[in-house]
């Protein structure tokens, strides 16, 4: 009987101890939940820059290997640039030809301006000659009238009358010739002026062609530069699955360059956890890969929409049977500067973490 009582007593003590431990743990968790919000739906993120060529061509040489660390400006690979060299030389030749066309057009302007000036001088000279011819015709007409009256009165001979008539007719013909010459000079002047304007327009076109050729040369130089692909940032490469002789095209993603100097955490909290969460609150970050060290961070941003809204097929609660599902909102958490830099450098994008937000 005594042994039975002792056994029952031990059992009661064990049960009581377990209940007490459970109450203490439950009380701790309850008190902790009043000032903390946590989730294990969180991962480390980093910028992953795709290495994308601007020009097409065959790879001449690859200078990097899988998972290699690189600095900004380091050469990653080179594309065979022989085709682009030919295009560059052609662009240089086109620019020289365009510049020579400008010189030819400018020289023709001077020639046509000289012709216009000469034609204008001839036009003015013809005008002066016409005035002199008009005066001569007026004088011959007046003489003819007097000789005609004298001839009608039989005061002069018929030969004298015919000489006066011939002088009048000659003056009329000379005036007509000079007027025709004036018209011809005017036409030549107008043609020379028009040709000068055309030449000036040709100069403008030639100058525009020079600018176009310069732009084409700049594009050819740029394409030559694009045949050397360099690292845009400091970081670490992913698997480099390319090799010399492979043909690549613009916009083709070759591999990734991960920015290892800038990392943060994206934690997906339930919408029911967000009531007391605010930007600037401190966060404890436990990384599954390194459970013995707690990183420090703080909330820096809340997503403008839930994660489901950014999915390929977002839910539409207006159709079908509605089932309420608790949504999750991505929250950005940045690491503080007080963390161990060596441990922080060992973190990788995609690692799972547990975050604990300190609400107070």
- Listed by start position, the domains of the chain span 36-52+253-360, 56-80+230-249, 82-226
Cβ neighbors of 79 (< 8 A, separation 6 or more) are 53, 55, 57, 58, 59, 60, 226, 227, 228, 229, 248
Q: What is the pTM of this model?
A: 0.66
CATH topology for 36-52+253-360 is Elongation Factor Tu (Ef-tu); domain 3 (2.40.30)
Q: Answer for the pair 73, 231: CB distance below 8 angstroms, yes or no.
A: yes
Nearest by Cα to 237 from 70, 54, 44, 349: 70
Identify which of 42, 35, 70, 109 has the alpha carbon closest to the alpha carbon of residue 255.
70
The phi and psi torsions of 56 (rounded to 5 degrees) equal: -90, 160
| 283 within 8 A of 296, measured Cβ to Cβ | yes
Strand-pairing partners, residue 37, are 357
The distance of Cα 185 from the centroid of its chain, to the nearest Å, equals: 56
Closest CA to 148 of 158, 138, 134: 158
How many residues does the structure list for the chain? 360
- Of 176, 150, 181, 153, residue with least CA distance to 163: 150
Closest CA to 259 of 79, 74, 103, 72: 72
299 vs 296: CA distance, rounded Å: 11
Which class is 56-80+230-249 in CATH?
Answer: mainly beta
What confidence score (pLDDT) does residue 311 get? 83
CA distance 180 to 172: 13
Give the fold, CATH level 3, of 82-226.
Helix Hairpins (1.10.287)
Q: What is the pLDDT of residue 131?
A: 72
Return phi, psi of residue 249, to 5°.
-125, 155
Residue 33: helix, strand or coil by DSSP? helix
| Cα 145 to Cα 156: distance, rounded to the nearest angstrom | 13
- Which residues touch 158 (CB under 8 Å, ≥6 apart)? 151
* pLDDT recorded at residue 282: 94
For every one of its 360 residues, what pLDDT tens digit does the chain have, with 9 covering 90 and above? 555 555 666 777 777 777 777 776 676 565 555 678 999 999 999 999 999 999 999 999 999 999 999 999 999 999 999 999 999 999 999 999 888 887 777 666 655 556 556 566 665 665 666 676 667 767 777 766 776 777 677 767 777 767 767 777 777 777 677 666 667 666 666 666 666 666 666 667 778 888 999 999 999 999 999 999 999 999 999 999 999 999 999 999 999 999 988 999 999 999 999 999 999 999 999 999 998 899 999 999 999 999 888 887 777 776 666 778 889 999 999 999 889 888 999 999 999 999 999 987
Contacts for 334 with CB less than 8 Å, ≥ 6 apart = 264, 265, 297, 298, 300
pLDDT at 237: 95
Q: Rounded CA gap, 59 and 77, in Å?
A: 7
Rg (CA), the chain: 49
**3-class SS at 155?**
coil
Q: Angle at CA 152, nearest 5°, toward 151 and 157?
A: 25
């Amino acid at each position: 009987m005594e042994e039975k009582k002792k056994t029952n007593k031990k059992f009661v003590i064990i049960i009581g101890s377990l209940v007490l431990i459970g109450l203490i743990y439950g009380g701790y968790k309850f008190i902790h939940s009043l000032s903390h919000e946590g989730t294990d739906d969180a991962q480390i993120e980093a910028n992953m820059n795709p290495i994308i060529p601007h020009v097409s061509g065959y790879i001449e040489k690859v200078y990097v290997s899988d998972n290699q660390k690189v600095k900004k400006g380091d050469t990653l690979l080179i594309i065979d640039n022989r085709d682009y060299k030919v295009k560059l030389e052609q662009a240089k030749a086109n620019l020289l030809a365009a510049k020579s066309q400008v010189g030819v057009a400018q020289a023709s302007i001077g020639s046509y301006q000289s012709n216009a000036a000469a034609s204008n001088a001839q036009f003015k000279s013809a005008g002066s000659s016409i005035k002199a011819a008009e005066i001569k015709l007026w004088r011959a007409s007046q003489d003819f009238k007097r000789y005609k009256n004298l001839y009608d009165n039989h005061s002069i001979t018929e030969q004298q009358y015919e000489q006066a008539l011939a002088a009048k007719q000659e003056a009329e013909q000379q005036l007509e010739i000079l007027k025709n010459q004036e018209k011809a000079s005017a036409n030549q002047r107008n043609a020379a002026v028009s040709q000068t304007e055309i030449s000036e327009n040709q100069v403008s076109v030639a100058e525009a062609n020079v600018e176009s050729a310069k732009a084409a040369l700049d594009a050819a130089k740029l394409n030559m530069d694009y045949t050397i692909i360099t690292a845009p940032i400091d970081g670490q490469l992913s698997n480099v699955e390319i090799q010399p002789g492979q043909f690549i095209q613009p916009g083709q993603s070759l591999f990734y360059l991960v920015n290892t100097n800038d990392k943060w955490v994206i934690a997906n909290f339930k919408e029911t956890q967000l009531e007391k969460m605010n930007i600037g609150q401190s966060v404890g970050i436990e990384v599954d890969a390194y459970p013995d060290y707690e990183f420090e961070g703080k909330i820096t941003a809340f997503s403008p929409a839930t994660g489901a809204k950014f999915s390929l097929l977002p839910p539409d609660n207006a159709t079908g049977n509605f089932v309420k599902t608790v949504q999750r909102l991505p929250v950005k958490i940045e690491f503080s500067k007080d963390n161990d830099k060596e441990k922080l450098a060992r973190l990788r994008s995609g690692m799972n973490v547990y975050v604990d937000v300190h609400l107070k």
